[in-house]
Each structure stands twice: as structure tokens, then as C-alpha cells.
Chain A
Amino acid sequence: GEDVEQSLFLSVREGDSSVINCTYTDSSSTYLYWYKQEPGAGLQLLTYIFSNMDMKQDQRLTVLLNKKDKHLSLRIADTQTGDSAIYFCAESMGSGGGADGLTFGKGTHLIIQP
């Protein structure tokens, strides 16, 4: 079955790095995603990684994938108050078009301390 697990809360100081972790159970996942959701808003795609990659970097964001342990992480460098949001990890088994949809975790609330 499919299951995506995340810690519910993470608190960091402004300017520090944030590391949000996720574990998933389905080894056939093709793509893994990170989405951001601000209060009262929809989901914003931050980045995604193909399952045959180990790392992907995009400006302040670094995604690490350990396929053996089914562990995904998102590192946000130099965390700012605007990064305060809920971060969702999601997986897709899509062989094309994602007909099975995305499976999401419950989200990690990132809290920024001044």
C-alpha cells in the first residue's frame, strides 16, 4: 500500500537551515515532490525529484533521496519568515500522467523563530 509519513512540526530560527523529512513506503514511486501551502491557499509546487536521482538543488532548496531507506528530505537554506507554511511530501507512481494521483503526507508545519 501507499503511505507517506512526515513530522507534524519543525521550529527553526530565522537564518538557519530547515530540514524537513519524509518517508514513503511504495518503492515503485516514479517521482517525489515537495509542495508548500500557506494559510488559506492552494498548493505551490516547490520541486520534484525523479526516483533514479540522489540529489537535486534549486537555489535555496536541496532535495535528498535515499531510495534504499525510502527517505526524502527538503533542506531550505537561510530560512526566512516567508518560508513559514505547511510543507507536503508527495509521491506519484505515474508511468505517464499520474493516473493514480499523488499520495500526500499530512504535512509539516514549519515555524520560524525570530
Chain B
Amino acid sequence: ETGVTQSPTHLIKTRGQQVTLRCSSQSGHNTVSWYQQALGQGPQFIFQYYREEENGRGNFPPRFSGLQFPNYSSELNVNALELDDSALYLCASSLFGATGDTQYFGPGTRLTVL
């Protein structure tokens, strides 16, 4: 167990809708990263938040946005959903600058867009 939780476990949306996914980081971790894992692929980095500000971003459009709160919780928001957004969304918490920069993953939210 990593101490990282995500909700909901599964979600079904239709094209054009908006979705919010939630993550609760491991206590004491000040950094959260979000990844998208399409079927049969490795996870792809969406962005990272550190002290409630975006700290780095992968190759994802602005309709992917996030929030990080002081209580170790965070959100991933996706607007104008497209069919290709169907994937497993993983959050990972870490302590900025810790040895190994190790990221601890939650179980993920499986999003299906119809």
C-alpha cells in the first residue's frame, strides 16, 4: 500500500462533457503528478503540482488542468472530453527533492468516454 488513494474507481462520460478526478496524496508529500495510461501503453506524464502550483507539464492540451490543495488532496480536470481520453488516470505523490525522486502511485481511475 502506498497511502495514495484515488476516486472514483471507474467513470463513464460522453464526448464533450467535463470530468474531475480526485487524488489523496501520502501524508507529508508536497508534490503530486498525474499520468494518463492508455490501454497497452506505459503511463504518460500530464503535469506535476508542487506547493499548489503547476511545476511541469507534458505534451497535453490546456483542457487538461489541475488543482492541488494544502490538505494533500488534488484534482485533475478534463474539459471537452474526446474519445481518445479513455484511459487509466494515475496520480503519484512524492516529496520534492527527496533521494530518488520516488513517486508513489495510486490505484488509478478508469475513465471511459462514449
CA distance A62 to B69 in the complex (A): 38
Segment of A12-20, A39-47, A68-76, A77-85 engaged in the interface with chain B: A39-47
CA distance A101 to B94 in the complex (A): 11
The digit string for B17-46, where 1 denotes a CB below 8 A from any CB of A, is 000000000000001010100001111111
In the complex, how many residues of chain A place their beta carbon closer than 8 angstroms to a beta carbon of chain B? 28
The digit string for A1-27, where 1 denotes a CB below 8 A from any CB of B, is 000100000000000000000000000
B96 contacts across to A, CB distance below 8 A: 96-97
Are B101 and A92 interface neighbours, CB within 8 A? yes
CA distance A90 to B44 in the complex (A): 11
Most A CB contacts (10 A, CB to CB) among B6, B46, B47, B100 go to B100
Are A106 and B42 interface neighbours, CB within 8 A? yes
Give the 7 A-B CB pairs with smallest separation, nearest first. A101-B45, A104-B42, A99-B56, A97-B96, A43-B105, A42-B107, A98-B101
Listed by A's residue number, 10 A-B pairs whose Cβ atoms lie within 8 Å are A4-B42, A31-B101, A45-B105, A97-B48, A97-B50, A97-B97, A97-B101, A99-B55, A106-B41, A106-B42
Chain A positions near chain B (C-beta within 8 angstroms): 4, 30-31, 33, 35, 41-45, 48, 50, 88, 90, 92, 94, 96-107
